[in-house]
Amino acid sequence: MRIDAYITEYARKTPQNIALEEGKNSVSYSCLDNDINTIVLTLDDFKHCRFAILAESGMLYVKVLMAVYRSTNIAVPLPIEFPKFSLEKILYTAHINNIITTDTQYSRFGEDFFERFGTVIIISGSASGEFLRKKIETEANNPELRLVLYTSGTTGTPKGVMLSDRNLIANAESIIKILRISSRDKGALVISPHHAFGNSIINSHLMAGSSVRIGNMNFIDSVFSLIGSDVSIFYGVPSTYRILLRYLERFRKDFSNVRTAASAGGGMDRSIVKEIRELAPDIEILPMYGQTEATARLAYLPAEDVDEFVDTIGKAIPGVILDVFDSEYRPVKPGITGELVATGDNIMLGYLDDEIATEKRIINGWLHTGDLAQKLPNGYIRLLGRKDDLIKIGDHRVNPREIERNIEENNEVSRVFVVPVHHELMGTAISLMVIPAEGTEIEKLFAFCRKSLPGYLCPREILFIDHLPLSENGKISNRSIIEEYKHVKASM
Amino acid sequence: MEQIKNDIVDYLKANSFMDNGSSLKDNDSLTQNGIIDSIGLLELMDYICEKYSIEIPEDMLTPENFDSLQGITNMITKLAK
């Protein structure tokens, strides 16, 4: 089955039930099903072709996504918060001939941006699509491929995670179970739908015949009004909660009818849990863990264990097996550090057009997550950082070495080092330590970062240093960079 | 009014994705044009509160008051009275 087939089923069984809400508008399952069919008419000549989707979050985005599925094509949602040149890099590596976009994004990105596409469809509010150009090309794609989600690519080589119908459905089924989503539930989607977490909210709620209320985090009053409008399950990354917890009284009032506060995208820290508990004592807090490479979710921490085990990721979701392997791919005993691995129907097909990267991540059917972990005696799993140098910045997984290279290649500097630093709302932001060259100007570096990197990667400060941040054994790592940063700050 | 507007533009140029050369119309959406994101808006709010010694109640944190230069300017003028 495909995700969109569930919508057809609910359109028959519970046609009047609300599927999506946005602002003052809502759409029933029956209308949603019809709107998807209208868009499908536009796409019917294309067979299993890649379609980039460049659209802001909203009901229309969901309709387009489902129509691409229903017409048996492949959806490639573009993360619209990325700067233009990052999107161009994705498009360059993804070989996409077709794009569907909204009026808003068409005028924002401009005509030139769309010249690379053979087919351009502009979709308007009433779900009617209009061809600006149409050119059908035959594509050789993995026969199971349905959705490509991009995990990185802000600076380095973008990686497209290939997902199948089976992946999407298996993961949505697991999520429905752990969150007990029923047709009476209403989920809040205020994070980006173009990434794994947001995408999983859409899939699991539509597959359960429940509704999704779509908004964003931009305007606090609007977010709280959304939460207070009978939302039963709220989803956020840790920084979402940090932002909302700035407004204690509003939090208390508008979360009073929310049954579950779910999180993913980064570890919930004890202080967030404590504050939520104080303001909404009856709420169930449900931290989850996952990766795009696993469609979305891999593990969850059962609500009753949140207070004791919040520093762990809990246990595998139904349908997934987690283990910790040593460097020879053998399971290790509790208390021994190894790499977290996972298997299940939610594990990706591989990376788009990149077999080498795929072979490194999926070995003998196990997804190697790159997260270092230990099993606890009770079977729960604790994460201990990354095997590679990746870090979480504002709940996004980023490669600091790629950011450094990108800044070095485009500016007059000798060396650049990215330092993860504490940030009140994002959890972690970055600062830069720079070994200057002749002509290095701090203002120019700031300007470059603002222009070329997404907002969460804009450095909080830029410090000049005069030597490499080497460790005792002469290597540069996140740890040696952080040590050097502490040293520089202490001597300021 | 104009002074407030210029201050905000200077802030946006110094702290967000807005180019030095680009111009922003009074009613252009800051969020839809990718000029500022949710964290950026909160930082802008903190800046405004400090600069104009005002407090912005939560129920004023709406698109009408915060998504355009004109909206922000009107809101500051109203609150600074």
Residue A410 sits at φ, ψ, to 5 deg, of: -110, 5
Looking at A246-255, A431-440, B14-23, which range is the least confident one? B14-23
Domain count of the fold of chain B? 1
A460 to chain B: closest CA residue = B15
Distance in angstroms (rounded) separating the CA atoms of residues A29 and A62 = 12
Report pLDDT for A135.
96
Report pLDDT for A68.
98
The H or E element spanning position A41 is helix A29-43
Q: Spell out which chain A residues touch chain B, with contact meaning CB-CB distance below 8 angstroms.
A: 56, 80-81, 83, 104, 108, 216-222, 224, 239, 243, 246-247, 250, 394, 425-426, 447, 450-451, 455-456
Each residue's pLDDT tens digit, A189-216: 999 999 999 999 999 999 999 999 999 9
Q: Do A450 and B15 touch (CB under 8 A)?
A: yes
Band (pLDDT 50/70/90 cuts) for residue A154 is: low
Candidates A105, A221, A241, A245, partner chain B, best to mutate (most B CBs within 10 A): A221
* Residue owning tokens 């807005």: B18
Candidates A113, A220, A456, partner chain B, best to mutate (most B CBs within 10 A): A220
Residues of A in contact with B41 (CB under 8 A): 218-219
Strand order across the A462-464 sheet:
A413-423, A427-436, A462-464
Q: Do B17 and A220 touch (CB under 8 A)?
A: no
Distance in angstroms (rounded) separating the CA atoms of residues A325 and A322 = 10
Distance in angstroms (rounded) separating the CA atoms of residues A22 and A476 = 48
Q: Report the candidate in B24, B28, B14, B39 with the shortest Cα–Cα distance to residue B63.
A: B28
Report pLDDT for B79.
92
Band (pLDDT 50/70/90 cuts) for residue A474 is: confident
Report pLDDT for B17.
61
Asked whether the predicted pLDDT for residue A92 surpasses 60, the reply is: yes
Q: Which domain range does residue B43 map to?
A: 2-80
Q: Report the candidate in A80, A220, A450 with the shortest Cα–Cα distance to residue B42.
A: A220
Asked whether the predicted pLDDT for residue A386 surpasses 90, the reply is: no
Report pLDDT for A320.
98
Closest-CA distance, A390 to chain B, in angstroms, reads: 22
Contact A341, A367 (CB under 8 A): yes
Report pLDDT for B21.
66
Asked whether the predicted pLDDT for residue B8 surpasses 80, the reply is: yes
Average pLDDT of the residues in A333-354? 96
> For residue A211, what are the β-bridge partners?
A186
Domains of chain A are 1-310 (3.40.50.12780), 391-490 (3.30.300.30)
Report pLDDT for A484.
94
Closest-CA distance, B2 to chain A, in angstroms, reads: 24
Burial profile B33-55: b = 16 or more Cβ within 10 angstroms, e = fewer:
bbbbbbbbbbbbbeebeeeeeee
Asked whether the predicted pLDDT for residue A87 surpasses 80, the reply is: yes
Residues of A in contact with B39 (CB under 8 A): 239, 243, 394, 425-426, 455-456
For chain A, give the percent of residues with pLDDT over 70. 99
Contact A195, A454 (CB under 8 A): no
Report pLDDT for A461.
93
Asked whether the predicted pLDDT for residue A464 surpasses 70, the reply is: yes
Residues of B in contact with A216 (CB under 8 A): 31, 38
Do the strands A413-423 and A396-398 form a parallel or antiparallel pair, or are they unpaired?
unpaired
Average pLDDT of the residues in A73-79? 96
**Domain with B50 in it: what CATH number?**
1.10.1200.10
Report pLDDT for A451.
80
Mean pLDDT rounded to a whole number for chain A: 94
Average pLDDT of the residues in B31-55? 89
Asked whether the predicted pLDDT for residue A419 surpasses 60, the reply is: yes
